[in-house]
Structure 1
Amino acid sequence: MREPVDLRRRRILAAVQARGSARVRDLAAELQVSVVTVRRDVEELTREGRLRRGHGVVRSTLPAQELPERGGADGDTVAVVVPERHSYLYETLHGARTALEAAGLRIALHIAPQVPGAERPQVERALADGARGVLLAPRWRSTADEEADHGWLAALDVPLVLMERRPRRGSALHAVDSVCSDHWYGAHLAVDHLVRLGHRRILFATRDDSPTARTLRAALCEIAAAHPVVEDWAWTLSSPSAGAGTPDAEDASPDPADLLRRLGATAAVLHGDVDALMLVQRLAGEGVRVPEDCSVIAYDDVVAALGTPPLTAVSPPKDEVGRVAAELLLGRLDGGHAGAARPAQRVELLPALTVRGSTREHGPDA
């Protein structure tokens, strides 16, 4: 499925704002689209006043004082390594950049391809270029992927903060600083909202290709199973590609729309936004109205508001994850020996629920 235009433009904007400037060809390679496509997006963003276009180069329109002109000298950069094609984590760059640049540091953004072990060469490259610390969101599609990274990450000789990743208890990375959204609470917000609206049969459809996806699945299933008024619920993958290449994925997962009918569900929670939007479109084609016949909640809230109807969504604090992670890293860097010796912190930030037009009361009088 093609990436929505608005989502792609958000990713371009986030990448340029994080760096101050970027080459069109580099952006096209990172987003895996044509140079022509990026040029069109840049033209539109330029018309909106959000970017400035040069010959083959795109620049941020943020005030000059917010864009340090350091050019990558040793000692003034922090590496930020995030997975390719991950708009959710790209949004964390805004918060991280604000905190780091206020401290006189520049982000060196590295995009890790969608292959196992892709983060290590990116981090090593950043350290060779003189990065003083690392903000990292490894893909970790499976437990084995995570374990393969434990040794070299634990051995880094610069401060490291993990974003939206919580290492297993007792692992080599247990004592590494990390900042995560509390996805259990996000799942609670979604289920509680639907139950309050009178829904008793709920479908959950999540991805299965990241630690966040697996945490969210476990939370939704736990909360629904323990809820006194939820009569029935079921889980499936949110799309055929949601667990592709993931050893932990189910061998066969029912189609969300088919399972919704079989369950007699009147509501669904989907991770993430694009899969939720696709379900709404599929249901409309089958004569099922949202929210009149079925309420839908998206989890991520990157493009959920752009749907028809706009989707109610759980909104993890993406900017805040980046900001707090950067502040933890700054504490390590600025404190010298004292900063390096302080106890590790595992911070959890609470998501919020944004109610829009895709949910409504269910019942005879609704």
Structure 2
Amino acid sequence: MREPVELRRQRILAAVESRGSARVADLAAELQVSVVTVRRDVEELAQEGRLRRGHGVVRSPLAAQDLPAARAPAPDGEVVAVVVPERHTYLYESLHGARSVLEAAGRRIALHIAPQVTGAERPLVERALADGAAGLLLAPRWRTRADEEGDYGWLALLDVPAVLMERRPRPGSALHAMDSVCSDHAHGVHLAVQHLVGLGHRRIVFATRDDSPTARTLRSACARIADAHPLVERWAWALCAPEAGHDGPYTAQETAELPALLREVGATAAVLHGDVDALMLVQRLADSGVRVPEDCSVVAYDDVVAGLGTPPLTAVAPPKADVGRAAAELLLQRLAAPRGGGGPVRRIELLPALSVRGSTRACAGAADRPE
């Protein structure tokens, strides 16, 4: 799916604001779009007063050269490098949360966007350290378990404080003793299931992606919670998009078209990770004459754009910005402590919340069903 224009421009703004200035060619390479596209975006942003243009260079309106000396950028030893995957709106909210904490502490952010290829984070981290970064906030893409474990060795050898955002390494691994701040996604699934069961739904389809640690955590939580719930009669899991199944051995049911799977299971509700896939399911159901929420309730997981749908989607909202803030606060504690100090390793979990909107309602006949 092509990235929305406004999202791409927000990424340009984030990159320029974190660095003070950036070359147009570098932005095009990071965003994997043409230089012409970036120039067009920059022109629009400049007209809105959100950027300043130069010859091949883009500057923030608050660039260092336009500020009083007291607000000059921090020296290299005060720089924190942040590495996040490209085209990941969820983690960009975490980035902005971290930025608010770091800037208040006088730290400058060096933002690095990792392209969608295996192993992209390591050279970015090495570059950041060579440029003098004192600490790191990291959210590796880790599309597969093998990708994740392949990064354990070099991450465990980092000689500066580092905190993982929304990533929790496997227990007992070389990276187990690394600070991390995550959303408690199992609690998020629990909220979704309890909401639907409370509305009388007894048959539920869950769908997640196959390309992120969050998706893998959600899949495991869906199975555990649905299996254990005494009121869930039947459930099934599938990929949000059947074409995504090229990365693993999946059954025919797990790669089935979701409207067909809902019919097969007799499901009256679905929980999808994330918002865009949930919005598209609502459209696909409408095309086949299934109304949301009258015939099928839908819960999205992420709550980035879920509220913009028709109807607005009920959604589980992980505390995205708070994850970034907590990770930045933990990193600042490590940076302030003597080398090797700062107390025990911390694995912090923050609880998601449920926003109930127009895409869920009581299941037909639920009032007459015995509990």
Q: Cα offset for 1:211?
A: 1.1
How far apart, in 2, do the equivalents of 1:45 and 1:242 lie? 35
Unaligned runs of 5+ in 2: none
SS of residue paired to 1:75: helix
Residues 111 and 265 (structure 1), Cα distance of their counterparts in 2 relative to 1, 3 Å cut: same
Alpha-carbon distance in 2 for matches of 1:297, 1:37: 35
Shift of 1:304: 1.3
Select between 6-15 and 321-330 the one with higher mean Cα deviation: 6-15
- Aligned with residue 256 of structure 2, among 246, 254, 257: 254
Q: Find 2:72's aligned residue among 69, 72, 75.
A: 69
Contact 1:206 1:242 in 2 (8 A): no
Q: In 2, Cα distance between the equivalents of 1:255 and 1:19?
A: 44
1:121-140 aligned within 5 A: 121-140=123-142
Q: 2:204 is matched with which residue?
A: 202
Q: For residue 213 of structure 1, report the CA deviation from its aligned partner.
A: 0.6
Pairing of 1:7-46 with structure 2 (within 5 A):
7-42=7-42
Distance 1:363 1:33 in 2: 48
* TM-score using structure 2 length: 0.89
- Secondary structure of the structure 2 residue equivalent to 1:109: strand
Matches within 5 A, 1:174-189: 174-189=176-191
| CA distance 1:229–1:44, shift in 2 (3 Å) | farther
Query: For 1:43-122, what aligned pairs fall within 5 Å after superposition?
Result: 51-55=50-54, 56-60=56-60, 69-70=72-73, 73-122=75-124
Shift of 1:46: 5.7
Q: What residue in structure 2 maps to residue 348 of structure 1?
A: 349
Alignment CA distance shift 1:318-1:16 (3 Å)? farther
Deviations along 1:338-357, one digit per CA (max 9) or x if unpaired, are x6351100000011111122
Written as runs of structure 1 = structure 2, the 5 A alignment for 1:212-227 is 212-227=214-229
Structure 1: gaps (5+ residues): none
How big is each residue's C-alpha offset from its partner over 1:238-265, in whole Å with a ceiling of 9 and x where there is no partner? 0135454x34x52641111211121121
Q: In percent, how many aligned pairs have the same letter?
A: 73
Residue deviations 1:280-335 (CA, integer Å, cap 9, x gap): 11111111111111111111111212222221111111111111111111111111
The RMSD of aligned alpha carbons is 2.5
Q: Which amino acid aligns with 1:69?
A: A
Contact 1:206 1:217 in 2 (8 A): yes
* 1:161 partner letter: V
Q: Deviations over 1:80-137 (max 9, x none)?
A: 1111221211111111111111111111111112222111111001000000011111
Q: Is the 8 A contact 2:136 2:162 kept in 1?
A: yes
1:18/1:93 contact within 8 Å kept: no
1:285 to 273, 284, 287: 287
Offset of residue 151 of structure 1: 1.4
Match of 1:309, SS?
A: coil
Q: Secondary structure at the match of 2:113?
A: strand
Q: Does the CA-based 8 Å contact 1:16-1:58 persist in structure 2?
A: yes
**Per-residue deviation at 1:76?**
2.0
Q: Answer with 1 or 2: which has the greater Rg.
A: 2
Distance 2:89 2:116 in 1: 14
Residue type matched to 2:257 in 1? D
Q: SS of the counterpart of 2:72?
A: coil
Residues 193 and 226, structure 2, Cα contact 8 Å, conserved in 1: yes
Matched with 2:298 is 296
Distance 1:278 1:260 in 2: 15
Displacement, 1:31?
A: 2.6
Structure 1 residues 59 and 357, CA gap change in structure 2 (3 angstroms): farther
Deviation at 1:37, TM superposition (A): 3.9
1: distance between equivalents of 2:121 and 2:210? Answer: 20
